């Protein structure tokens, strides 16, 4: 549904986006993760045909951004990070106005407006003025607007930005519901953990470069490298740690806050030897588990040290570009 090959956007000597290659299949909920200025908004604007790339290829729903921009605009729903609303309109009037812009006429106009409101759980506010809505409700209204023409692909630029914790949870639930309806969704965020639970695939971008992409579980496994087994004993952890050092396939053993951490050479190691060794020594085993790593830790590992280095390498005028040009 979305495919890019070496997609690049350059301003002078500065790369806002550099050689982006990714592919989203139908029904994907793709989390595009990165700090402010990483290139997320630039990518979304190019895919929505609002910004021309310097070079590279991109297509949405099989349409090229170069030759079929109008077809792409009919097939997508684009929600920018900041959008204006008409405060003097009622919620239902606001949606009907945009439905008319999509050339939805007659009785169908009210019908699709009502359907979009129900989909984002905003039906109770249909007759309220737009200016009376909270930030979270305004975001949901913006999402209802891009759903009016039933697009196949949704490009959502930081939809949870500025929302309180409850509104963020509601937004995540809404995105999951849209995925269940068969929508292909690219959603950007700089709030790292909020996409881990709902996205089937993620991409981590920094300074215009895609550092990693794939399934969440595969990405976490890639960052972890060698598995770490955490073991808790009822007794002397140092004694058990010394015993585990002699087990085959154990690369390293250390103790952190009373918990034994055994690093394996790889996943082929038979971990049943660990509890057997401890019990045979007369110690009592309380628990054993594999150490977890979350998406935030993965991001920090993948981008370790690169922000400072890239800031030093940034061309003169980079800071001015950041202030005046969203990336």
pLDDT digits (tens, 9 = 90+) for 33-87: 888 888 999 999 999 999 999 999 999 999 999 999 999 999 999 999 887 778 8
CB 223 within 8 A of CB 41: no
Does 315 fall in a domain? no
Average confidence (pLDDT) over 243-249? 90
CB-count burial class (<10 Å; 0-12, 13-18, 19+) for 117: buried
Q: How many CB atoms lie within 10 A of CB 124?
A: 10
Choose one of 205, 222, 239: the last residue of a domain: 222
**Which pLDDT tens digit goes with each residue over 77-135?**
999 988 777 888 999 999 999 999 989 988 899 999 999 999 998 999 999 999 999 88
Residues 207 and 258 in one domain: no
The reported pLDDT for the residue numbered 311 is 41
Residues 189 and 148 in one domain: yes
CB-count burial class (<10 Å; 0-12, 13-18, 19+) for 258: exposed
Average confidence (pLDDT) over 298-317? 53
First to last CA, the chain: 23
Please give the model's pTM, rounded to 2 decimal places: 0.76
Average confidence (pLDDT) over 249-257? 90
The reported pLDDT for the residue numbered 34 is 84
Please tell me the distance from the alpha carbon of residue 38 to that of residue 209, in angstroms, as a whole number.
8
Residue 314 has pLDDT above 50, yes or no: no
**Which pLDDT tens digit goes with each residue over 266-291?**
878 888 889 999 998 888 999 999 88
DSSP state of 193: G
Residues 175 and 264 in one domain: no
Could you give the percent of the chain with pLDDT greater than 70?
A: 88
Residue 195, domain CATH: 3.40.50.300
Q: With CA atoms as reference, report the closest residue to 171 among 192, 151, 142.
A: 142
Reading the block at residue 312, the tokens are: 């030093």
* Mean model confidence pLDDT for the chain: 85
Which of 183-187, 221-225, 248-252 shows the highest mean pLDDT?
Answer: 183-187
Residue 317 has pLDDT above 50, yes or no: no
* Residue 133, C-beta contacts closer than 8 angstroms, at least 6 positions apart: 91, 125, 141
Does 318 fall in a domain? no
- Domain range for 248 is 228-290
Q: Structural domain tally of the chain?
A: 2
């Amino acid at each position: 549904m979305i495919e890019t090959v070496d997609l690049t956007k350059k301003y002078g000597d500065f790369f806002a986006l550099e050689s982006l290659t990714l592919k989203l299949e139908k029904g994907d909920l793709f989390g595009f993760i990165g700090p402010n200025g990483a290139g997320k908004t630039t990518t979304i604007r190019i895919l929505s045909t609002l910004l021309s790339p310097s070079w590279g290829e991109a297509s949405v729903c099989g349409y090229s951004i170069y030759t079929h921009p109008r077809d792409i605009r009919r097939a997508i729903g684009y929600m920018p990070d900041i959008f204006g609303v008409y405060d003097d309109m009622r919620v239902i009037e606001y949606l009907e106005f945009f439905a008319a812009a999509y050339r939805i006429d007659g009785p169908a106009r009210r019908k699709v407006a009502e359907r979009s409101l129900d989909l984002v759980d905003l039906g109770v506010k249909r007759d309220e003025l737009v200016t009376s809505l909270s930030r979270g409700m305004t975001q949901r209204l913006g999402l209802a607007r891009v759903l009016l023409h039933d697009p196949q692909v949704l490009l959502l630029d930081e939809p949870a930005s500025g929302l309180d914790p409850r509104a963020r949870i509601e937004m995540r639930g809404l995105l999951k519901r849209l995925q269940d309806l068969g929508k292909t969704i690219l959603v950007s965020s700089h709030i790292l953990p909020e996409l881990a639970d709902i996205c089937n695939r993620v991409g981590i971008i920094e300074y215009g470069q895609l550092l990693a992409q794939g399934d969440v579980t595969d990405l976490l496994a890639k960052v972890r490298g060698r598995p770490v087994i955490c073991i808790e004993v009822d007794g002397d952890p140092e004694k058990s740690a010394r015993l585990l050092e002699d087990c085959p396939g154990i690369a390293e053993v250390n103790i952190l806050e009373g918990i034994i951490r055994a690093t394996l050479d790889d996943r082929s190691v038979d971990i049943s030897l660990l509890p057997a060794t401890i019990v045979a020594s007369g110690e009592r085993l309380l628990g054993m588990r594999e150490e977890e790593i979350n998406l935030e830790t993965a991001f920090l590992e993948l981008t370790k040290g690169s922000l400072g280095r890239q800031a030093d390498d940034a061309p003169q005028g980079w800071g001015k570009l950041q202030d005046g040009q969203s990336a």
